Amino acid sequence: MKWKRKRMSQLARESMTHLFDLAEKECVHHPERAHRYVKIARDISMHTRVRIPHHLKKKFCNKCHHFLIYGRTCRVRTKSAKVVITCLDCGNIMRVPFVREKKVGHSKR
Ligand SMILES: [Zn+2]
pLDDT tens, residue order, the chain (109 aa): 566 878 989 999 999 999 999 999 998 899 999 999 999 999 999 999 999 998 999 899 999 999 998 888 999 999 888 999 999 999 999 998 876 655 555 544 4
Q: Give distance in angstroms: CA of 18 to centre of ligand 1.
A: 22
Q: Are 84 and 77 in contact (CB under 8 A)?
A: yes
| Residue 32 CA, ligand 1 centroid: distance in Å | 13
- Structure confidence at residue 109 (pLDDT): 46
User: Would you say 61 and 88 are in contact if contact means Cβ atoms under 8 Å apart?
Assistant: no
Q: How far, in Å, CA of 57 to CA of 104, rounded?
A: 21
Contact present, 67 and 59 (Cβ < 8 Å): yes
Distance, in Å, from the CA atom of 80 to the CA atom of 34, rounded to the nearest integer, reads: 31
Q: So what CATH class is 2-97?
A: mainly alpha
Question: Which DSSP state fits 91?
Answer: -
Question: How far apart are alpha carbons 50 and 25 in whole angstroms?
Answer: 24
Give the distance (Å) from ligand 1 centre to CA of residue 73: 9
pLDDT at 108: 47
Span from the CA of 74 to the centroid of ligand 1 (angstroms): 8
Task: Say what the pLDDT of residue 84 is.
Answer: 94
Query: What is the whole-number distance in angstroms between the Cα of residue 68 and the centre of ligand 1?
Result: 8
How many Å lie between the centroid of ligand 1 and the Cα of residue 27?
15
